[in-house]
Structure 1
Amino acid sequence: MSDVESDANLEADAHASITIGKPAADLHALWLRPETQSRIWAHFADVRVVGDRTAEWVAKGPAGGEYRWQTLTKANSPNELSWSTLDKADVANQGVLTMRPAPGDRGTELYLDVRFDPPGGIVGKAISKMFHIVPREIVRTALYRFRALALTGEIARTDPQPAGRNGGTDH
């Protein structure tokens, strides 16, 4: 049972799951690589490794606000990883990634539970919803990005690419 599930006072604000056709050991190792977090959470925050299993996060908020925090990641077991924010976090959060064998020898099922505590309590939650900062979508997108990285070694981008000819314009 994960920390998120075992604490009666803590309910995950966001949950997502996905199946990836790779062994849990490979996915565990990929999640812990320093560059992985910055790549899979790029849609939400800039993540920079600052120490062994420690990262600094910077997320853009409503009205140009910027929120910062540091996290510490722990390998609880070969099938479970967790993280939590360190002291003085602008957005306290914690998460658990659990890996289980997928039925029919189809790889690994990943379950990601994350709890975000936006600044300002009820007001912060209202602002988050108003500006469409939805924890469930943040977590779901991170898992989809992780799956792409695990299966192909890259994360597809859909943002516009400038044309290569004539300084970015076609004539």
Structure 2
Amino acid sequence: MARKPLPESAKELTLRRWISIGLPATDLFALWLAPDTLPRIMSHFAKVTPINKSDAHWQIDGPLGKKYAWESRIVEAQPGEIIAWQSLEGADIPNEGKLVLTPAPGEWGTELALTLTFTPPGGTLGKKVTTFFDLLPKEIASIALHRFKSLAETGEIPTINGQPAGRHAERQDKEK
């Protein structure tokens, strides 16, 4: 069961970011909805597990070792134009999001506008969650869009995980 849209007064934190990608909107729309895309592009922020074509389970690590979880559902999908989702009732952190796809100027591809809105729970816990989100605010959306752009344009998301730092290679050799 989808939860009610967030009331305007309850919108504690809204993140908006934009990016241009040199591909048609219909291709980007299909890629965003592919089952393995969200887990890959949001891995810096959350563990996302697709449940079916419209629902996903999200889990994030919050302050003080607390884990927060929710399920989200796509509530609007117009091919090549918009994808909107919202958390379902019972979410630890109620939220909603929207990805709007529009033609980029000069027929260069597609502009994507991502809006994420989170409503932290109330009380002391809410203040800690809000502080946690304030540490990352714009980065959540920016990193997700840049990772999506890399995936769309190259087929992969660059990472340095598991790679030694080249600038320390000499020091590592001397320590052996």
TM (norm. structure 2) is 0.81
Corresponding residue for residue 142 of structure 2: 140
2:20 matched to 1:19? yes
Structure 2 stretches lacking a partner, 5+ long: 1-5, 166-171
Q: Which amino acid aligns with 2:105?
A: P
Q: CA deviation at 1:66?
A: 0.3
% identical aligned pairs: 43
Corresponding residue for residue 108 of structure 1: 110
Corresponding residue for residue 9 of structure 1: 8
Q: In the aligned structure 2, how far is the partner of 1:109 from the partner of 1:145? A: 15
Q: In the aligned structure 2, how far is the partner of 1:105 from the partner of 1:121? A: 49
Q: In the aligned structure 1, how far is the partner of 2:143 from the partner of 2:23? A: 19
Aligned runs of 1:112-123 on 2, under 5 Å?
112-120=114-122
Structure 1 stretches lacking a partner, 5+ long: 1-6, 164-168
Q: In the aligned structure 1, how far is the partner of 2:142 from the partner of 2:72? A: 19
Q: CA deviation at 1:130?
A: 5.7
Q: CA deviation at 1:77?
A: 1.4
Q: In the aligned structure 2, how far is the partner of 1:132 from the partner of 1:69? A: 20
Secondary structure of the residue that 2:8 maps to in structure 1?
A: coil
Q: In the aligned structure 2, how far is the partner of 1:52 from the partner of 1:120? A: 32
Corresponding residue for residue 168 of structure 2: none
Q: Which stretches of structure 1, 4 residues or longer, exceed 3 Å deviation after superposition?
A: 125-128, 130-133
In 1, are the aligned partners of 2:23 and 2:110 still within 8 Å (CA)? yes
* Distance change >3 Å, CA 130–CA 28, structure 1 → 2: closer
TM (norm. structure 1) is 0.83
Q: In the aligned structure 2, how far is the partner of 1:49 from the partner of 1:148? A: 21
Considering only aligned residues, what root-mean-square deviation do their CA atoms show, in Å? 2.5
In 2, are the aligned partners of 1:116 and 1:135 still within 8 Å (CA)? no
Q: CA deviation at 1:50?
A: 1.2
Corresponding residue for residue 152 of structure 1: 154
Q: In the aligned structure 2, how far is the partner of 1:69 from the partner of 1:123? A: 16
Aligned residues: 161
Corresponding residue for residue 66 of structure 2: 65
In 1, are the aligned partners of 2:63 and 2:132 still within 8 Å (CA)? no
Q: CA deviation at 1:87?
A: 1.0
